[in-house]
Amino acid sequence: MTTDDARLTPSPHPPSRGTLYGVGLGPGDPDLMTLRAARLISDATVVAYPTLAGCESFARSIAADLIGQDVHEIVMDVPMTVERAPAQHAYDKGAAEIAAALEAGTDVVCLCEGDPFFYGSFMYIFARLSETYDVEVVPGVTSVTACAARTGMPLAARNERLTILPGPLPAAELQARIDGAESVVVMKVGRHLSKIREVVAGLGLLNAAVYVERATLSEERVLPLADAPDPAPYFSMILITKGADPWL
Amino acid sequence: MTTDDARLTPSPHPPSRGTLYGVGLGPGDPDLMTLRAARLISDATVVAYPTLAGCESFARSIAADLIGQDVHEIVMDVPMTVERAPAQHAYDKGAAEIAAALEAGTDVVCLCEGDPFFYGSFMYIFARLSETYDVEVVPGVTSVTACAARTGMPLAARNERLTILPGPLPAAELQARIDGAESVVVMKVGRHLSKIREVVAGLGLLNAAVYVERATLSEERVLPLADAPDPAPYFSMILITKGADPWL
């Protein structure tokens, strides 16, 4: 039942609330969106997405060709501040706008780069709305496996351990964690590149480490970590694989 | 250049070799295939996939509706043995059949459940053929983010560490690794369930652990780890999240 119908003819049953879809869009190439994501976006009448400090939304850019002209767009502009309160306020405001659409019986498609639950901001919206509304999370291809695909470096096999680390961690912690896994992915490299590179070199792993920037996009760059730019852009990552012989 | 054509008619321009596509199919629901995967499979004239000890291929079942009737299927039957040699032999044989098709100028689409480079067998084919032939790896949604989506448990945010561990690891190692990350995914649970559950309980994390079986398929089951079946089926996993407050 839709609210539109309810407006036309009085109904004994109150109109249903809409469903919130948290939709993973994959690493950047629109072709790496799932069939389900593409269908939900094409059918959407309301989409929501974050922007960072007024910049263009990467998530929206991935989905752009599928968003209809008359679609209502809820933009959550998240400021880049050290304190968390301003960002929380942006998510509070976005969640309230999404809730208003859901209350009106409209489904809302929230656009998420990569996967909604993998270092994404959708979890903040999910925390605010999932107890009150139906929420479906549609998983997406993460930048981790996209980078592995683009470098030709298998991530993990058999009984290997894979650790995913954010670049801002302290050097000592990075060192201990990189030492203890067969495969390591370091996310959010950015201005932490030189610190990470020193740690990797100190462990004698520079030859096993590859730097990937903007994987699957036309501006993609794949370089040995030794040659990576410093600082690196935000959408960059380092893969380190020291797994067993892939022939066996 | 294809040897077959070269033998038939000398040509001033040797025909091109085919390209091998290692295509991730996602966790099981065919709707979670990427647009690129769906297009490559629909257009394929040769597909290849592994089967385990003569059982039906899970990868093929995900793609079944897209595989045309006249498509040539290269089946790699991988025996389940402790020694690696029989499996290596199966990949040698499969790689040779794939190479013959590539030499004849035909593209080959290798079907991979989940993502080709994430605990998948495609890496064995990749190792055998990538130095001689053009190979494109198409990343897919992994069971890891699919399970997170189905349980409503965000995997990682901000500076949290995510560790992925295979269930067959020794208890002491599982314990140390689970203790050292905010989020942990244990793959390949199967007959290791009781060992893993004891480790998780010993760390006081039983309430933070969820068991997921056959995520995104109609037979999917999501249970508290305390209630998980023992032994578990092969396609099952345990998620443990002890991250920060998702509201913040």
Q: Which residues of B touch A118 (CB under 8 A)?
A: 145, 148, 155-156
Domain-by-domain residue ranges, chain A? 3-138, 143-241
Q: Which amino acid is residue B10, in one-letter code?
A: P
Q: What percent of chain B has pLDDT over 90?
A: 79
CA B86 remoteness from chain centre: 20
State the nearest Cα–Cα gap between B183 and chain A, in angstroms: 10
Per-residue pLDDT tens digits for A71-96: 999 999 999 887 888 889 999 999 99
DSSP A88-131: HHHHHHHHHHHHHHHHTT--EEEEESB-TTBS-THHHHHHHHTT
The sign one gets for the Cα dihedral B123, B127, B131, B134 is negative
Residues 6+ apart with CB under 8 A from A209: A200, A224, A225, A238, A239, A240
Q: Is A68 on the interface with B (CB under 8 A)?
A: no
Cβ pair A246:B137 closer than 8 A: no
Optimal mutation site among A89, A117, A189, interface B, most CBs of chain B within 10 A: A117
Nearest-angstrom CA–CA distance, A75 and A53: 12
pLDDT of residue A7: 43
Residue B51 Cα distances to A12, A157, B79, B87, B244, angstroms: 54, 17, 9, 11, 41
Q: Which residues of A touch B86 (CB under 8 A)?
A: none
**A151 to chain B: closest CA residue:** B137
* Cβ contact A32–B118 (<8 Å): no
User: Touching check for B201 and chain A: CB below 8 Å?
Assistant: no
- Chain centre distance of CA A141: 9
From the CA of B58, how many Å to the nearest CA of chain A? 18
User: Given its phi and psi angles, is residue A216 left (phi above 0), alpha (psi -120 to 50 degrees) or beta?
Assistant: left
Determine contact: A217 vs chain B, CB below 8 A.
no
pLDDT band with cut points at 50, 70 and 90 for residue B6:
very low
pLDDT tens track for A188-208: 999 999 999 999 999 999 999
Tell me the percentage of chain A whose pLDDT exceeds 70.
92
Across the A/B interface, how many CB contacts are shorter than 8 Å? 185
B177 CB near a chain A CB, below 8 Å? Answer: yes
pLDDT in tens, B28-84: 999 999 999 999 999 999 999 999 888 899 999 999 999 999 999 999 999 988 788
Answer CATH for A3-138 from 3.40.50.720, 3.40.1010.10, 3.30.50.10, 3.40.50.300:
3.40.1010.10
- Cα angle for residues A126, A128, A133 (degrees, 5° grid): 75
Strand order in the sheet with B162-166: A221-224, A209-213, A236-241, A183-187, A162-166, B162-166, B183-187, B236-241, B209-213, B221-224
User: B135 at the A interface (CB within 8 A)?
Assistant: yes
Give all strands of the β-sheet with B108-112 in edge-to-edge order.
B72-78, B46-52, B108-112, B20-24, B135-138
Write the single-letter amino acid at A96.
Answer: A
Q: What is the ipTM of this complex?
A: 0.91
CB contact under 8 A, A154 and B126: yes
Maximum average pLDDT range among B20-24, B55-59, B205-209: B20-24
CB of B145 within 8 Å of a chain A CB? The answer is: yes
Q: What pTM did the predictor assign?
A: 0.91
**How far apart are alpha carbons B145 and B242 in whole angstroms?**
16
CB A188 within 8 A of CB A144: no
Q: What is the fold, at CATH topology level, of the domain defined by B143-241?
A: 3.30.950
HEC per residue, B1-59: CCHHHHHHCCCCCCCCCCCEEEEECECCCHHHCEHHHHHHHHHCCEEEEEEECCCCCHH
The DSSP bridge partners found for residue B78 are B52
- Are the Cβ atoms of B159 and A177 closer than 8 angstroms? no
Minimal Cα–Cα distance from B227 to chain A, Å? Answer: 23
Note whether A133 contacts B: Cβ–Cβ < 8 A: no
Which chain B residue's Cα is nearest to A37?
Answer: B32
Torsion of CA A199, A200, A202, A208, to 10 degrees: 180
Which of A112, A168, A132, A155 is closest to B154 using CA atoms? A112
